[in-house]
Amino acid sequence: MQRKTIQRQIILDTLKNFSTHPTVDELYLEIQKIHPAISKTTIYRNLRQLAQGGEIGQVALTNDVERYDKRTEHHYHFQCKECKALFDVDVASIQGINEKVEEKHGFQVDEHNILFKGICLRCKKNQ
């Protein structure tokens, strides 16, 4: 169990107020509005620890910076190709996909992540 600090709680509360999946820089800018004494290094370190402890999710995308997720249960994501925003996709997990990959390729599959890409509603309306 990790030590609960005021900084860690501020970071966690700020993350929970985001409707998308912020980067360290986005969290830092938001936290600075109210708590200018908290450094970006403190935010980064605490995010890593929270993710390692399973209190938040960490989303690593190819050719993109790490993003953080307030949701820890298994779910999928959608990334807009225009604005690069990352959204949760609430659909049922694909049943048996891990087992199918194991059967076909002989891999031991512990988990899977699926990322949908396209244009979000906001960008679609602006086109």
Please check whether residue 87 is in contact with residue 78, taking contact to mean a CB–CB distance below 8 angstroms: yes
Exposed, middle or buried by CB within 10 Å (0-12, 13-18, 19+), for 60?
exposed
What per-residue confidence (pLDDT) applies to 49? Answer: 93
The full set of domains in the chain, from first to last, is 6-69 (1.10.10.10), 76-126 (3.30.1490.190)
Higher pLDDT, 35 or 74: 35
Tell me which of 14-23, 33-42, 58-67 is least confident: 58-67
**φ, ψ for residue 116, nearest 5 deg:** -90, 140
Mean predicted confidence (pLDDT) in 19-37: 94
Choose the weakest-confidence range: 31-35, 62-66, 86-90, 115-119. Answer: 62-66
Beta carbons of 58 and 24 less than 8 angstroms apart: no
In this model, does residue 56 exceed pLDDT 70? yes
* Coil, strand or helix at 116: strand
Average of pLDDT values for 9-35? 94
What average pLDDT does the segment 10-31 reach?
94
- Specify the pTM: 0.78
106-120 pLDDT, tens per residue?
999 988 888 899 999
Which amino acid, residue 60? A
Residue 1: is its pLDDT beyond 60?
no
Question: What pLDDT does 16 receive?
Answer: 94
